[in-house]
Amino acid sequence: MTMPASPQALDALGLPPIDQIGFVVRDLDAAMARYAPLFGPFQRIDGSVKACQFRGRVADVELDIAFGRSGTLEIELIQWLGGESPHAEFTLQGHEGMHHLRFRVADADAWIAKVRPAGYAPIWYKRYSPDITFAYLERPGDPLLIEFLQMP
């Protein structure tokens, strides 16, 4: 088992600032109403993803998503509706709440390689085009995922 990296080791990676906090919720309408005073107004979208690499296989997922803000920080509320993804695992394990932190990066694949020595491995990955890629990564013993988003 790989031990989680120390905070100093993670600081040494030079990660950019967090630009999004993602929360998985059971009921998106209720969560939007609950958090509107803090992060609203929200913009709602169909966040479903087709043909995504998930834990070594290709999988589809249906997600209902809403985006709010706290200053420059994006707040994402995600309700899993069906299919396979990290959000499905989180929900099916009985969890609700903070799920991931997102970092916008110029090269997602380079960052995946850079954080591997700190124990992170990609579990959900999609390259839409040469310029647009996202990846969720996990590390043993840490329930909080990180996301890299490469998008101009």
Position 2 in a domain? no
For the segment 42-92, what is each residue's pLDDT rounded down to a tens digit? 999 999 999 999 999 999 999 999 999 999 999 999 999 999 999 999 999
Q: Under 8 Å CB-to-CB from 1, ≥6 apart: which residues?
A: 140, 141
Position 22 in a domain? yes
For the segment 118-145, what is each residue's pLDDT rounded down to a tens digit? 999 999 999 999 999 999 999 999 999 9
* Total number of domains constituting the chain: 1
The answer on pLDDT for 6 being more than 90 is no
CATH of the domain at 79: 3.10.180.10
Position 1 in a domain? no
Structural domain including 124 reads 7-150
